[in-house]
Amino acid sequence: MFGEEELVKVHKTRAGMIGNIVFAAFGLILARLWYLQVYKGEQLHQFSIQNRLRKEVVWAPRGMIHSRDDQLLVDNIPRYDAILTPQYLLEKEETLEKLHKILMMEPGSIEKLLKKNQNQATYRPITIKKNIGFDELAQIESLNAELPGVSVQTFISREYKDKEVGAHLLGYISEISQQQLPKFRKRDAMDYRLGDFIGQFGIEEQLDKFLRGANGHEFVEVDSRGRRKRYINTDNLFKGIEDEKPNQGMNVKLTIDRDMQMAGYAALEGKVGSIIALDIESGEVLAMVSRPAFDPSQFSRGLTPEYWRSLITNTENPLRDRNIQEHYSPGSTFKAITGISAFEEGVIDENTEVFCNGNLRFGRKVYHCWKREGHGATSITKAIRESCNVYFQRAAMKMSIDTIAKYATMFGLGKRTGISLPREVSGLIPTEAWKQKRYGQVWQPGETLSCAIGQSYVLASTIQMAQAYGAIANGGKIYRPYVVKDIYTPKGDLIKTFTPELLSDFKLKNEKTLKYVREGLFQVVNNPKGTAFYRRGKGIQMAGKTGTSQVVRATADKVYQKCEQMDYDYRHHGVFVGFAPYDNPKIAAAALVEHGCHGSSAATPVVEAVVTAYMQKYHPESYLQNLEKDKEIHTQWVKTLKAPAAPAEE
């Protein structure tokens, strides 16, 4: 046995050997460095300054987006930017003068750009002009030798064929900003770089991982002046090279019909509002337009500050999708729900008549009907047809708000529809408990009367209203709305298909309920006394309900003031929700026009345009038959007509 100190001593030889190993190892390193830096130094130095091989990203083209009728909605086109790398800029004045001429830019403007970017590293290219034309491209390429430091960068730009049409639905792509970088990296577990494009809105955002594809890379040689040339094997240093081709993103087919989109967009011309149309037997969204809109192509091209400013300073907020990101008071369109609640609860039946004298006193308050002289004796169908406030408020007096809320919720109101698009709002169906929680106050019975006609706290988006009316039409089936039908590989192989999702299928207790409510909705459009008769369209046999959504609560003296005479910001929103055709419903649609004053004049034509486009395209026989029926209605009406009264508008 050794003592501790002896032990250390015994191992001294080995320690010495380790020391020698360490010396030898670093001798080897230094020899290698000598070989590289001194023996081959000159050669490698030449490489480093002359022969610059760079690995560059080749962007994958994003997938294309088609409509349900196989029309191309979103495409990719190449775009060229003129760029300048200050590091390689020689004979500055001469070069810039030539460049100004070629790009037809004001003399001195490039110098300004250079000055603006003078703090960044000189090897980093500066974009001189975006989206140059082919002749400019050709000139730069052919004068390559005379323009040191100037080159052309190719991008694939996203092209939205119909510009603003459906912009909110399709969304846009744009560069990831510094602030977004960590968020997106974390979200997708992808190593994003600044300058990467990513879907930031609508379908482009929601389906980004399918549309995106995979970037490839290629090797380019950069000479000492920074001009890129495609790699040519000039020496033996780099041989056997393979670039990696990018993989194009998946193609997407939407449930959207392009013609209906166009019809909806045109009908909203000059208006602020939105239209959405749903297939009631599947939840497929057939049309979805919101105006004012924006041009998504601008985002993928690199937004100009002016355009961006014009978007964000516009008080109508063109970046908001009014179908799903905005909720409104549904106004009289909510009466169908109140009617269903009352019928189901036994508060009314088809024979109940209420006498409307133009107002209703409740407690200390007077509730006015929109028709000053009153509707007289009113049944449920008449009440819906002529939108009598008093009828529904009388019915609501016998119900609690929670009862109405129960039916509203059943029809999908007050919660998100779950459409696979970002940032949907939920709307609001108030209950007593809700008010207690939200305001800490007790529910006032008078508030029930306001809610019964879709005012006060009640809020719904157009997509919710279309879904609810779809359920009225199909007998209680609520589908989750969806916009994407299929996803294909670039070669055309189907990889994913979306099918209808039935969220709930409820049966109402009283089978008469829907019969009479539907009858009322039909008369709104097809009975000469209906609020939308004069906007009924042709060949679509539509049923529906007009509504006005009060922007500010009307004071007593303003109740009967003509809406058109008010300041724009105080005018009511016009709403129309309906379904068609009446005897065999296929489609439900809702439109809202902000400050449009009347549901009938502002919103009904929008729905009518979209539904007409639908019927003509998908049910042409039914459309023709309905045309005949319309003629009948028309002749009937003309017969009964002695002196045409002013159109009733609500």
Partner 1 sequence: MYQTLLQYLKRYDFSFLGSFFAIFLVGVLNLYSATHSQSHEGLDMLYRSQIIWWLLASVVAVVVSVVFNPKTFERVSYFVYGVTFFLLILVMVMGDVGMGAQRWLQLGPIRMQPSEFMKLGLAMALARYFARVQPEKELSFRDLLLPGIIAGVPAIMVIIQPDLGTGMLLLLIFAMMIFYKRLKWRTIATLVIGALVAGVLMYNFGLREYQRKRIHTFIDPYADAKGSGYNAIQSEIAIGSGRLFGKGFKNSSQASLQYLPENHTDFVFAIFNEEHGFFGSVFLVVLYLIMFMRLIWLASSVQRFYDSVLVVGIMAIFFWHTFVNMSMVSGLMPIVGIPLPMMSYGGSAMLTYGVCIGMVTAISNSRNFFN
Interacting residues with partner 1 (CB under 8 A): 1-2, 4-5, 7-12, 14-19, 22-23, 25-26, 28-30, 32-34, 36-38, 40-45, 47-49, 52-55, 121, 123, 178, 181, 193-195, 219, 236-243
Angle, CA of 466, 549 and 583, to the nearest 5°? 35
What tokens were used for 334? 């909510």
CB 185 → partner 1: shortest distance, Å? 10
26 or 355, CB closer to partner 1?
26
CB 131 → partner 1: shortest distance, Å? 23
CB 241 → partner 1: shortest distance, Å? 4
CB 568 → partner 1: shortest distance, Å? 46
CB 9 → partner 1: shortest distance, Å? 8
217 or 416, CB closer to partner 1?
217
CB 22 → partner 1: shortest distance, Å? 5
Distances (CA, A) of 193 to 67, 124, 176, 182, 207: 32, 15, 8, 10, 20
36 or 502, CB closer to partner 1?
36
115 or 239, CB closer to partner 1?
239
**456-390-541-264 Cα dihedral, nearest 10 degrees:** -20
Which stretches within 493-603 are classed as H helix? 511-526
Q: Which of 201, 194, 196, 191 is nearest to 212 (CA)?
A: 196
Distance separating alpha carbons of residues 315 and 259, to the nearest angstrom:
29
Tracing tokens 């994958």 back to the chain, one arrives at: 60
44 or 502, CB closer to partner 1?
44
Distance separating alpha carbons of residues 551 and 32, to the nearest angstrom:
81
CB 86 → partner 1: shortest distance, Å? 13
116 or 496, CB closer to partner 1?
116
CB 89 → partner 1: shortest distance, Å? 17
- Bridge partners of 588? 278, 579
One-letter amino acid for residue 607 of the chain: V
47 or 534, CB closer to partner 1?
47
At 214 the three-state DSSP class reads: strand
Centre a 10 Å sphere on the Cβ of residue 27 and count the other Cβ atoms it contains.
10
CB 4 → partner 1: shortest distance, Å? 5
What tokens were used for 35? 């070989």
26 or 439, CB closer to partner 1?
26
Centre a 10 Å sphere on the Cβ of residue 460 and count the other Cβ atoms it contains.
34
38 or 145, CB closer to partner 1?
38
**603-607-613-619 Cα dihedral, nearest 10 degrees:** -160
Tracing tokens 């308050």 back to the chain, one arrives at: 365
CB 299 → partner 1: shortest distance, Å? 20
- The full DSSP string for 87-152 is GG--SHHHHHHHHHHHHT--TTHHHHHHHHTTTS-TTS-EEEESS--HHHHHHHHHTGGGSTTEEE
37 or 635, CB closer to partner 1?
37
